[in-house]
Structure 1
Amino acid sequence: MLRAPAVAAAGGALALALVHVRDPHVDGAYGFCPFLVLTGLPCPGCGGLRAANLLTRGDVAGAVSSNLFAVVLVAVAAVAWSVWFLRRLRGRPAPFLTWSARTVTIAGLLVVAFGVVRVTPWGAWLAP
């Protein structure tokens, strides 16, 4: 019953451990963003690894300045995992991701909006 949440938690912990140990602030540590290389503009994910690295070090302000969207995404994922775990623990049916088409559309629009705003002059503070 708790196998899936435990596996997901272990996977997340391993990913965060990797990002903590292998510093993404070093150029090329994880390769390069193809969108950034091709356009010269940061994609919505640019700075996400740096943000995760800074979160593992307790630097929330630095993480927010690297990628606000990634920080929000980590918080949402933590809450979603907690709800999933607690529902499973109580024996209730709890599929991890059951999103409606509307929710997926809204999430996609938020990602696009974040990507557009961060390359404009008034959203430059969002760029890494």
Structure 2
Amino acid sequence: MTQQPTAPARSSERPPQTRGQRLVAPLVTIGALGATTVALHVRDPHSQGSWGFCPSAAMGFWCPGCGGLRAVNDLTNGHLVDAASSNLAFIVALPFLVAGLALWTVDRWRGHQRQVSMTTVSRVAVTVIALMALFTVLRNLSGSWLAP
């Protein structure tokens, strides 16, 4: 039995990223969210037409995101109750969104890559979709206090 010569191994792996390279995506995301928040504070979405129009609201249907811009504006002015009145789902989700963004940033800082199973991703996605569907139905009921 003769041995076949082996070809030299090709390097298909990228060189490791520096901390600065790893932080680009989270920092750009944080910067964009910060700029959007400032824009929503400066240009009040409570004024009709200040940010265009919402197609679903124009059709008489409140989507899960309706009132989200007003909620951000209310939060930047320190009006938590008004923000909850604009979009309660956004206010409930906000701490989870901030925690997820912080976790992503810290993981990238440390060079840690979190492994999340597809089962977990699927369960969370189905739960979020079901809750948003329920929220949409409830806020579109006649006289609902969840309407923006």
Q: TM-score, normalised by structure 1?
A: 0.86
Secondary structure, counterpart of 2:49 in structure 1: coil
Aligned to 1:81: 101
Aligned to 1:24: 45
Shift in Å at residue 94 of structure 1? 4.5
Larger CA Rg, structure 1 vs 2: 2
Alignment of 1:3-82 (within 5 A): 3-38=24-59, 40-82=60-102
Q: 1:94 to 1:9 in 2, by over 3 A?
A: farther
- Give the AA of the match of 2:126: T
Secondary structure, counterpart of 2:61 in structure 1: coil
Secondary structure, counterpart of 1:44 in structure 2: coil
Contiguous gaps of at least 5 residues in structure 2:
1-21
Shift in Å at residue 52 of structure 1? 0.6
Identity of aligned residues (%): 40
Structure having the larger proportion of residues in helix: 1
Asked if 2 retains the 8 angstrom alpha-carbon contact of 1:88 and 1:94, the reply is: no
Shift in Å at residue 2 of structure 1? 1.4
Per-residue CA deviations over 1:10-46 (Å, capped at 9, x if unaligned) read 01101111111110000011122211212x2322111
Asked if 2 retains the 8 angstrom alpha-carbon contact of 1:48 and 1:70, the reply is: yes
Alignment of 1:92-107 (within 5 A): 92-94=112-114, 100-107=121-128
C-alpha distance in structure 1 between counterparts of 2:81 and 2:146, whole Å: 12
With 98-107 and 13-22 compared, the bigger mean Cα shift is at: 98-107
Contiguous gaps of at least 5 residues in structure 1:
none
